[in-house]
Amino acid sequence: MSAPILDTLLVANRGEIACRVMRTAKALGLTTVAVHSATDRDARHSREADIRVDLGGSKASESYLQIDKLIAAAKASGAQAIHPGYGFLSENAGFARAIEAAGLIFLGPPASAIDAMGSKSAAKALMETAGVPLVPGYHGEAQDLETFRSAAERIGYPVLLKATAGGGGKGMKVVEDVSQLAEALASAQREAQSSFGDSRMLVEKYLLKPRHVEIQVFADQHGNCLYLNERDCSIQRRHQKVVEEAPAPGLSAELRKAMGEAAVRAAQAIGYVGAGTVEFLLDARGEFFFMEMNTRLQVEHPVTEAITGLDLVAWQIRVARGETLPMTQDQVPLLGHAIEVRLYAEDPGNDFLPATGRLELYRESSNGPGRRVDSGVEEGDSVSPFYDPMLGKLIAWGEDREQARLRLLSMLDEFAIGGLKTNLAFLRRIIAHPAFAEAQLDTGFIARYQEQLLPAARELDEDFWQAAAQAYSQSLVRRERQDDPHSPWAAVDGWRSGLPAQVALHLSADGQDRAINLQTLGADHRLQGERLLVEHQGVRREHRAIRRGDTLYLHWQGEMRSITTYDPIVAADASHSQHGGLTAPMNGSIVRVLVEAGQSVEAGAQLVVLEAMKMEHSIRAPHAGIVKALYCQEGEMVSEGSALVELEQPA
Ligand code: ADP
């Protein structure tokens, strides 16, 4: 049988994974086809493709989830194969079938394997038969409250409710005791219905302090299947992975083999082909339990590539062409250690709400041995509210874990992002944390060290304002010289001398304002290129200072602070017109209103539930009080910042 021709590949995805897949495709000499929504017309993945096809629309449901449009795009561009990336349609058996029916190649497993693992309940039943250990729980058909109540009673609290169709940590709720069960079940079912179009749930024993250890498997079309070692993805926030590494620290060779072989059994039980991941929970006693199988390339595949030297996308293409796997299990390399962090546009200081806006400043870390950045954006790009807000991934490899960790820290330090909030500083605090350095990994890590990882916003200190004022005024002088040689600032000889007396600089940084009299500034800070040199008691330090438009970005105490000037008169006006109510933290729709005007509520009571980015966010009472007014109703769309509830403090 001759191998099918595969010289043109369409990537049915966006962002970093589309860029990453196309990079290998290009390296192998393939022609790349990108698809994009109207919003993504100029997104990096479409800019980088040889051919691009406009799907129209903005929402994923109008673009990246349109099976017919994607197949038409492949036909029109001459692509013989479609790579689904992760998310979107990557685990949609209907998509795999439609591709096959159109005479094209799906770079993923057979539709039947996706079906087998598509429902967490069905997958668990299957694994039970294949002899793979499961977490105690209930994964049956009956979905009434009573069934869940008695199942939870039987396995013992705390329990975890999971959407059978779930993924990405969504539709999952921990229930501590029976009093929370009804509310948690209803809310999880609603979330599951809106995210996956399927409200069915299962319930499991909620393991305390487990590790998430998963096995990368790879199968060809001839019945061969390998495990390419494991990844530890225990550092999670709300059941979503934040940091991933390979190999799993402290995992013995015997356990690796046992888990690897269980994973291969799981894959073979469903006739798997291509790249897949079998996820396990590992408890402190070294027992492991099957959680689910992801039938696609994972976000975190680069750490496996780093320790094996293999290119998994290249393997996907080869397997699709009918080639056999190029090695045996004993030949699979395991070299050194790799750690990856996921960089998101989100606000860690505000419950990790996704951030949108323009990347006014975006600079990646420099290239070098053991450093890899997989990203999907460039400076000037915008992050829209329509898709997952991940910007990219930073991956560091080292001969041992500590070398990888230090390398990753220096990459995080070199990254500079401005214009929207990101989790960069949060990631840095995780990787720098002593418990992380000691590889004390379990899924409770972030919650346990929350106070250190998410420090309360501190008042910016005097040293900062001095540095900010000096850096800002020097960058202003420099810019005026370049832009307008006749400006009075440009005439200033040296940056300070000759400044008009009593000039105050009104600076804003991190939501704080400060007026600083230029005459009182010291001269111990010098801006040189993009470095602010600060000399203090004979020690000279450098801080990065990058100007974009009217904003100066200054790297200070591990974070990029954006510094702008403000008009003191406008600021005074605005502070009088502020609304006293609770506002929508982002654009979304109101799914529930739980209070009425006149009602008194306890501190922390749920007032309104807002759905945004497919997640439910509760708006809770910051203090006890009486609901004075309600400004929203169920079903209504609200925009960020609009008032929802007005709460009065009781007299
Ligand atoms: P998803 O498909 O949404 O990613 P998973 O079933 O893979 O959901 O679970 C995601 C994470 O939730 C796991 O990595 C783990 O941290 C946590 N988790 C899942 N099941 C359990 C459990 N039974 N006990 C404790 N933690 C769990």
Q: Is 70 exceeded by the pLDDT of residue 571? A: no
Q: Whose CA is nearest to atom 18 of ligand 1?
A: 239
What number is the average pLDDT over the span 333-341? Answer: 98
CA-nearest residue for atom 21, ligand 1, is 206
Ligand 1 binding pocket mutation candidate from 159, 196, 342, 443 (most atoms within 8 A of CB): 443
Pocket test for ligand 1, best of 159, 234, 281 (most atoms within 8 A of CB): 281
pLDDT for res 456: 83
As beta bridge partners, residue 227 has: 217
Which residue's C-alpha comes closest to atom 2 of ligand 1?
167
Rg (CA), the chain: 27
Which atom of ligand 1 is nearest the CA belonging to 443? 16
Of all protein residues, the one whose alpha carbon is nearest to atom 15 of ligand 1 is: 239
Q: Which atom of ligand 1 is nearest to the CA of 169?
A: 3
- Kindly give the number of the ligand 1 atom that is closest to the alpha carbon of 208: 25
188-223: pLDDT as tens digits: 999 899 888 899 999 999 998 999 999 999 999 999
The one-character DSSP state at 364 is P
How many angstroms is it from 237 CA to the middle of ligand 1? 11
Q: Which atom of ligand 1 is nearest to the CA of 279?
A: 7
Output the CA 336–ligand 1 centroid distance in Å: 27
Q: What is the pLDDT of residues 50-64, one digit of tens each?
A: 999 999 999 999 999
Q: How far, in Å, CA of 87 to CA of 11, rounded?
A: 12
Q: Which residues face 516 on adjacent strands?
A: 505
Tell me, what's the pLDDT at 499?
53
Question: What pLDDT score was predicted for residue 224?
Answer: 98
Nearest atom in ligand 1 to the alpha carbon of residue 206 is 24
Question: Taking phi first (over 0 means left), then psi (-120 to 50 degrees means alpha), and beta for anything else, what does residue 45 get?
Answer: alpha
Task: Give residue 582's region: left, alpha or beta (phi > 0; psi -120 to 50).
Answer: beta
Q: At which residue do the structure tokens 């001095």 appear?
A: 466
What is the distance in A from the centroid of ligand 1 to the CA of 357?
31
Question: Which residues, 6+ apart, have CB-to-CB distance to 87 below 8 Å?
Answer: 13, 17, 168, 388
Q: Whose CA is nearest to atom 6 of ligand 1?
A: 291
Closest C-alpha to ligand 1, atom 23? 206
CA 331 to CA 347: how far, in whole Å?
44
State in Å: Cα 162 to ligand 1 middle: 8
Mean pLDDT of the residues in the chain? 91
Question: Could you check whether the bond before residue 158 is cis, i.e. omega within 30 degrees of 0?
Answer: yes
pLDDT at 581: 62
Average pLDDT for 230-236: 98
In sequence order, which ranges of 78-110 are alpha helices (DSSP H)? 93-101
Q: What is the pLDDT of residue 482?
A: 76
Distance CA 391, CA 375 (A): 6
Mean pLDDT score, 104-129: 93
The DSSP 8-state label assigned to residue 370 in this structure reads T
Q: Which amino acid is at 23?
A: R
pLDDT for 603-616, tens place per residue?
878 899 888 766 77
Best residue among 124, 212, 441 to mutate for probing ligand 1's pocket (most ligand atoms within 8 Å of CB) is: 212
Number of C-beta neighbours around residue 77 at 10 A: 20
Q: How far is the CA of 591 from the centre of ligand 1 (A)?
A: 25
Other CB atoms within 10 A of residue 322 CB:
14
Active site positions, annotated:
296
pLDDT at 606: 87
Determine the average pLDDT of the residues in 259-271.
95
Q: Which two tokens stand for residue 94?
A: 């209907």
Phi/psi at 248 (5° precision): -75, 125
CA of 280 from ligand 1 middle (Å) equals 9
Between 34 and 169, the more confident residue is: 34
CB within 8 A of 545, min separation 6: which ones? 471, 475, 527, 530, 531, 532, 552, 553, 554, 555
Calculate the CA 206 to chain-centre distance: 24
Nearest-angstrom CA–CA distance, 207 and 577: 49
Helix (H, G, I), strand (E, B) or coil at 15: helix
Taking CA atoms only, the protein residue closest to ligand 1 atom 12 is 239
Q: Whose C-alpha lies nearest to ligand 1, atom 11?
A: 239
What crossing angle do the helices spanning 93-101 and 111-118 adopt, rounded to 10°? Answer: 170
pLDDT digits (tens, 9 = 90+) for 59-93: 999 999 999 999 999 999 999 999 999 999 999 99
Ligand 1 atom nearest to 233, measured from its CA: 14
Using alpha carbons only, give the angle 398, 401, 407 rounded to the nearest 5 degrees.
50
The ligand 1 atom at the shortest distance from the C-alpha of residue 163 is 3
Number of H helices, E strands in the chain: 18, 38
Ligand 1: which residues within 6 Å by Cβ? 135, 160, 162, 166-170, 172, 204-207, 210, 212, 236, 239, 279, 281, 291-292, 443
Give residue 178 CA to ligand 1 midpoint distance, Å: 21
Q: How far, in Å, is the centroid of ligand 1 from the Cα of 116?
A: 19
Q: What pLDDT was estimated at residue 491?
A: 54
Transcribe 560-589 into DSSP letters. Answer: EEEEEE--HHHHHHHHHS---SEE-SSSEE
Place of tokens 């799907």: 55
**What does pTM read for this prediction?**
0.86
Residue 201 Cα, ligand 1 centroid: separation in angstroms?
A: 13
Quote the pLDDT of residue 572. Answer: 55
